[in-house]
């Protein structure tokens, strides 16, 4: 028992030492690779960047070798800097032959962000279903919530903490009429009043069929969305942008990314490399002409320019991470951490195995064992013989 206790304490001490070295090395490392602010220009047809990392102030340039002043940089990104151009009186009447106005650019521009921590998290399975045809100027939060069980949908009146059976039956009949199979596998929505309108929820049933659920004048609106052959949704997003051009986005199990268009509820595939949204941060800067799609992971960033209508790939730009490695690589056989930017939970994770670190530990361990045995031998040899 004594030997087991010593062994256990040795293992725990070693793990704590590895965790301490990992944490110290992370603090000593610089805060990540700098990536300049970069968008695809609808004017010059090239990625353009704003770099603030230099000692001589900001630098404005594109990847065809052209340099810009700050004012010129605003002009090559008119959809992004249209407010500045309006204030300067420099907003063009048309871009690429398309007539533009401040209201048009504002309505048809958007920013979408998906972070791994928002994917790798637990969600309380209670949802607010707002009124999508509200007679009020602003959206209002409902007085009830709904939940999706193994056999159907239930609405709960929050003031009484009781199931609203009449409303539950009304919506359940709509689900049965559409042939929805429970339990629901995926649920996505944005239950907030800080948006111009409500498009409800995207639901994936047990058979892999996709539906849009809304509440219209207190009654259910449930529409099936046809999925292309072989598409198995893994993540769903409801967007509700001012242009109303999209219902949302979908990422499937193969890593492909789709936009669900309105009013035809059609899936348009984006020409992007496969994504893993549980590990990749995805950012989209969209305007009426092009989308700049940014996939970030482990200090690397891949920029892809897509044509706004077809989501056809126009150009790509990659920022590689530096070769700078953590000092922990040379001190421990593997790195141990209890937190991660990929999730918001406290749990141990082993990563970055290192043969160099393993060799160092074997050498140090061998020296320590040899020193311990030598000490024991000297101790035993110094005892007087009886």
Task: Determine the pLDDT at residue 123.
Answer: 87
Higher pLDDT, 169 or 330: 169
> 185: closest CA among 202, 169, 163, 173?
202
CA 258 vs CA 237, 252, 269, 331: distances in Å: 10, 8, 4, 44
Q: Rounded mean pLDDT of 244-249?
A: 96
Residue with tokens 């309380």: 124
Domain ranges of the chain: 113-279, 330-370
Q: List % helix, strand, coil for the chain (3-state, nearest 5).
A: 25, 30, 45
Task: Determine the pLDDT at residue 322.
Answer: 61
> 343: closest CA among 282, 281, 265, 263?
281
The answer, yes or no, to whether residue 33 has pLDDT greater than 80, is no
pTM, whole model, 2 decimals?
Answer: 0.85
The answer, yes or no, to whether residue 208 has pLDDT greater than 90, is yes
Task: Determine the pLDDT at residue 381.
Answer: 67
């Amino acid at each position: 028992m004594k030997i087991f206790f010593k062994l256990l304490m040795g293992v725990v001490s070693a793990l704590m030492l590895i965790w301490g070295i990992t944490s110290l090395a992370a603090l000593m490392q610089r805060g990540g690779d700098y990536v300049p602010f970069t968008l695809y220009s609808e004017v010059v047809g090239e990625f353009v960047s704003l770099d603030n990392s230099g000692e001589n102030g900001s630098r404005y340039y594109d990847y065809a070798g052209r340099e810009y002043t700050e004012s010129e940089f605003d002009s090559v990104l008119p959809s992004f800097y249209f407010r500045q151009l309006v204030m300067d009186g420099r907003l063009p009447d048309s871009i690429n032959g398309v007539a533009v106005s401040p209201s048009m650019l504002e309505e048809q521009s958007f920013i979408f962000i998906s972070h791994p921590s928002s994917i790798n998290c637990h969600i309380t399975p209670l949802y607010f279903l707002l009124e999508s045809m509200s007679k009020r100027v602003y959206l209002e939060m409902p007085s009830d919530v709904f939940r999706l069980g193994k056999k159907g949908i239930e609405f709960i009146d929050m003031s009484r903490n009781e199931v609203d059976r009449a409303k539950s039956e009304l919506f359940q009949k709509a689900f049965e009429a559409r042939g929805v199979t429970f339990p629901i596998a995926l649920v996505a929505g944005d239950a907030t009043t800080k948006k111009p309108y409500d498009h409800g929820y995207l639901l994936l049933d047990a058979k892999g069929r996709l539906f849009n659920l809304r509440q219209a004048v207190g009654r259910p609106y449930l529409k099936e969305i046809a999925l292309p052959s072989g598409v198995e949704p893994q993540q769903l997003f409801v967007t509700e942008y001012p242009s109303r051009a999209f219902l949302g986005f979908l990422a499937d199990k193969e890593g492909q990314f789709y936009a669900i268009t309105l009013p035809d509820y059609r899936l348009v595939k984006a020409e992007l490399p496969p994504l893993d949204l549980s590990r990749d941060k995805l950012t989209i800067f969209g305007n009426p002409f092009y989308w700049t799609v940014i996939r970030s992971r482990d200090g690397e960033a891949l920029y892809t320019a897509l044509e706004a209508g077809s989501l056809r790939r126009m150009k790509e730009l990659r920022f590689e991470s530096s070769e700078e490695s953590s000092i922990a690589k040379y001190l421990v056989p593997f790195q141990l951490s209890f937190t991660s930017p990929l999730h918001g939970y406290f749990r141990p994770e082993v990563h970055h195995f290192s043969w160099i670190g393993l060799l160092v530990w074997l050498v140090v361990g061998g020296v320590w064992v040899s020193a311990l045995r030598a000490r024991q031998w000297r101790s035993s040899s110094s005892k007087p013989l009886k």
